[in-house]
Amino acid sequence: MSQENEKFLIFGNPIEHSKSPQMHNSAFDHLNLNSFYDKYLLTDGKKIKEIFNSENIKGANITVPHKEDAFRLADEVVGIANEIEAVNTYVKKDDKIYAYNTDAPGFLKAISDFGKIKSVLILGAGGTAKAIAMALKEENIEVRILNRSAEKLAFFKAQGFKTYTWGNFQMNHYDLIVNSTSAGLNNEDYPIKKTTLESIFLNAKYAFDCIYGKDTPFLKLAQAEGLKAKDGEDMLLYQGVLAFELFTDTLLDKETIEVMRKALKKDPVEDTIDNEEQK
């Protein structure tokens, strides 16, 4: 079990809307731990290690756009994060920074209530797609990637995935379609032309949108076509649960996980945010 009064941070830019502090602090409260988790607006990702060490913290989460810098600067990278080349969790042990990627196992946990999945089409080729693709590959699930443009597909090609752009996509059957693009996040866009998405869904069983807390056009269309569909809430929750378990060296029970889920559903707390310019 962890010590009392430990401090944790989430580094990102922007960071004001992050719900990670309320999720982690709700679990600390529920478990009667005096530890505290706060937001940190980090503009220069190259300073993450220096700031992590100077803040005297036990652990941190890292979000957009610093996951790759955090990977490069960690002392020890553990597990699948080595393949993804991006990390979202730092834990200090014996004066060393151990780095993990909990987005990947968090995604696997989130889709575990779908039926058996053998093939997946991922829409999008950003950082989230990398974590999802590598997690599925490790489970021996066949994965293909479809992205709007070619540039970000290089990573996936090098890892042996079959990739498509909008221009050369070939229809196929997939058990699961994942939207890992930001289409639908702050707009009503589909991640690909609506008619193409309709055809993709006609040949699929399940749909998962990484975006959470919003009925996106992708999700609405999947439901209209009779697919079992869910948003990204569980993915966000379980990456947090797994990070918390690494921070505290404990396994969380169902009750604490539900406390964390409830905290996620609240609006983000607007508060003072630390940043490196204040130092």
What residues line the site for ligand NAP (CB under 6 A)? 64, 103, 124-129, 147-149, 152, 180-183, 185, 189, 191, 210-212, 232, 235-236, 239
Q: Which residue is nearest to ligand NAP (CB)?
A: 126
Contact between 236 and 19 under an 8 Å Cβ cutoff? The reply is yes
Cβ at position 168, least distance to ligand NAP in Å: 14
Q: Which residues contact 154 (CB under 8 A, 6 or more apart)?
A: none
CB closer to ligand NAP out of 2 and 164:
164
**Cis, peptide link before residue 21, omega less than 30° from 0:** no
Residue of 125, 133, 178, 179 whose CA lies nearest to 149: 125
Q: Which residues are catalytic?
A: 67
CB closer to ligand NAP out of 21 and 127:
127
> What are the helix (H) ranges across the chain?
20-30, 48-54, 67-73, 81-84, 103-110, 127-138, 154-158, 194-202, 217-224, 233-248, 254-264
CB closer to ligand NAP out of 96 and 194:
194
C-alpha dist (Å) from residue 105 to 16, 53, 121: 25, 27, 18
CB closer to ligand NAP out of 105 and 191:
191
Contact between 20 and 10 under an 8 Å Cβ cutoff? The reply is yes
Residues 213 and 101: their CA atoms lie apart, in Å, by 23
Cβ at position 228, least distance to ligand NAP in Å: 18
Cβ at position 111, least distance to ligand NAP in Å: 12
CB closer to ligand NAP out of 17 and 93:
17
Residues 192 and 52: their CA atoms lie apart, in Å, by 39
Cα dihedral 272, 274, 275, 277 sign: positive
Cβ at position 126, least distance to ligand NAP in Å: 2
Cβ at position 67, least distance to ligand NAP in Å: 8
